Structure 1
Amino acid sequence: MSSAPKGSGAAPETPLPPGVLRAVQLRGMFVQASWNYRTMQGNGMAWAMLPVLRRASEERRAAALDRHAEHFNGHPYFDSVALGALSRLEVDEADPETIRRFRAAIRGPLGALGDRVVWATAVPSFALLAAVLYWMGVPGAVVAFVFLVAYNALHLAIRAQGFALGWEAGTAVGPRLRGLDLTGRAERFAALTLALVGVVSGVLLAGGRGVGALEWPWFVAALGAFFVGYVGGVRLWRPTAIVTVGAVAILLALGSASLLSG
Structure 2
Amino acid sequence: MRLLPEDLGRWLRFSAASLLLPLSWNYKTFQGLGCLWLLRGQLRYPAAVQQKEPLQSFAGYFNTNVFLAPAVLAAAVRLYEERLSGQSTLMAPEAFLRAVMAPVAAVGDALFWGGLRPLVFCAALLLAWLGWPGWPLVVLAGFILPTLLVRLLGSLQGYGRGHQVVMLLQHLRLADLAIRCKQATLVLLGAGCALLLHQLELANGLLIWLVPLLFAALIPLLALVLRRGISLVLLWWLALLLLILFLPEAVPPLSQWGN
User: Considering the TM-score relative to the shorter chain, is it more than 0.5?
Assistant: yes
Work out which of the residue numbers 153, 169, 172 in structure 2 matches 1:177: 169
Matches within 5 A, 1:125-140: 125-139=119-133
Query: TM-score, normalised to structure 1's length?
Result: 0.71
Gaps of 5+ in 1: 1-10, 229-240
Taking only the aligned residue pairs, the percentage that are identical comes to: 26
Q: Which residue of 2 aligns with 1:189?
A: 181
**How big is each residue's C-alpha offset from its partner over 1:210-243, in whole Å with a ceiling of 9 and x where there is no partner?**
5233785797269959xx9xxxxxxxxxxxx989
SS at match of 1:33: helix
Quickly say closer, same or farther: Cα 1:222–1:46, change in 2 above 3 A. Answer: farther
The answer to whether 1:117 aligns with 2:111 is: yes
Tell me which residue corresponds to 1:48. Answer: 38
Matched to 1:252, the amino acid is: L
Determine the C-alpha separation between the residues in 1 that align with 2:4 and 2:93: 19
Deviation at 1:177, TM superposition (A): 1.0
Residue 244 to residue 135, structure 1, CA distance change in 2 (3 Å): farther
Structure 2 partner of 1:6 = none
User: Any gaps of 5 or more consecutive residues in structure 2?
Assistant: 220-231, 253-259
Q: Deviations over 1:63-107 (max 9, x none)?
A: 2x2122221011111111112211111221266972221111011
Partner Cα distance (2:204, 2:164) in 1: 54
| TM-score calculated relative to the size of structure 2 | 0.72
Alignment map for 1:1-262 (pairs within 5 Å): 11=1, 17-18=6-7, 19-56=9-46, 57=49, 59-60=51-52, 62-63=53-54, 65-93=55-83, 98-139=92-133, 142-203=134-195, 205-206=197-198, 209-213=199-203, 216=207, 220=211, 249=240, 252-253=243-244, 254-256=246-248, 258=250
Give the count of matched residue pairs: 229
Deviation, 1:203, is: 4.6
Preserved CA contact (<8 Å) 1:39 1:69 = yes
Residue by residue over 1:99-125, the C-alpha shift from the partner in whole angstroms, topping out at 9 and shown as x without a partner, is 221111011111111211111112222
What is the distance in 1 between the residues matched to 2:212 and 2:124?
A: 17
**Cα distance in 2 between the residues matched to 1:135 and 1:247:** 19
* Bigger Cα Rg: 2
Root mean square deviation, CA, Å: 3.6
